[in-house]
Amino acid sequence: MINRIIFEGQVFYKLADLAELFGVSVYKMKKATKTQDIQTRLKGFGRVLFVLEENVCKIELNNEIKTLETKFTANPVKSTKAVKPVVKKTERKKTKAKVVKKGEVVEKVESSPKQELSKETELRLEKYQQLYEKGTTLATKLAKVNELKLAHEICEQHLGKGKLFKQTGLGDVQKMELVVADFQAALDAIYESSPQF
């Protein structure tokens, strides 16, 4: 199958498609078009090579010359129908900004009656919030005793390379439990070994 690309009012063919049409390798087609200087790259198509439709007839491989022609009609659209637009009604959420310590702004979202969460999701969300708060406090404590690198290693071990505790979501609750447990174990070990903390 040969695909045509219409670019800036001209028809182009991919070099690989032409190689298939002529029954030769892409390398042989590339070499033939390069010697005649008829291959080009189109902006927005990356490194793919193209040949202008008018230049396809200049390619001679296996003692064959092929001519390709594209005919444009004045109006390529056969028929049109009027369709009513579909309007989706979305319910907007009301938000209120609440100022918390040190100028942080937290948005409070009032959910609409239609979007109430299931009990399982609410429990998961509550568990996530508890783990997030506990994890951030433990990470802060680790940073205060100059063990921030250890905290990053624990996060990478359980969450994946380069992922921080702050980047977790509801789907990471089980992983967060492991991270919080390791944070706590590391802090306990530090407190036991150094009575100064």
pLDDT of 103: 47
Q: Are 175 and 158 in contact (CB under 8 A)?
A: yes
Confidence at 171, pLDDT banded by 50, 70, 90: confident
Query: Token pair for residue 148?
Result: 């921030």
Residue 71 lies in a domain: no
Residue 84 lies in a domain: no
Residue 20 lies in a domain: yes
Residue 24 lies in a domain: yes
Mean pLDDT of 36-44: 87
Residue 91 lies in a domain: no
Q: Which residues contact 74 (CB under 8 A, 6 or more apart)?
A: none
pLDDT tens-digit map of 67-115 = 887 776 666 555 656 666 666 666 666 555 554 555 454 555 555 544 5
28 burial class (0-12, 13-18, 19+ CB within 10 angstroms)?
middle
pLDDT of 180 higher than 60: yes
Q: Count how many domains the chain has.
A: 2
The answer on 60 and 121 residing in a single domain is no
Mean pLDDT of 136-152: 82
CA distances from 150 to 20, 85, 110, 136 (A): 57, 57, 39, 14
pLDDT of 93: 60
Residue 145 lies in a domain: yes
Host domain of residue 27: 4-65
Higher pLDDT among residues 48 and 77, named by residue? 48
Residue 160 lies in a domain: yes
Q: Are 57 and 11 in contact (CB under 8 A)?
A: no
pLDDT of 25: 92
Query: Domain boundary residue among 65, 82, 104?
Result: 65
pLDDT of 172: 79
Mean pLDDT of 118-147: 83
- Edge to edge, what strands does the sheet with 10-14 contain? 4-7, 10-14, 49-52, 39-41
Residue 90 lies in a domain: no
Higher pLDDT among residues 81 and 190, named by residue? 190
**Mean of pLDDT over the chain:** 77
Mean pLDDT of 29-51: 88
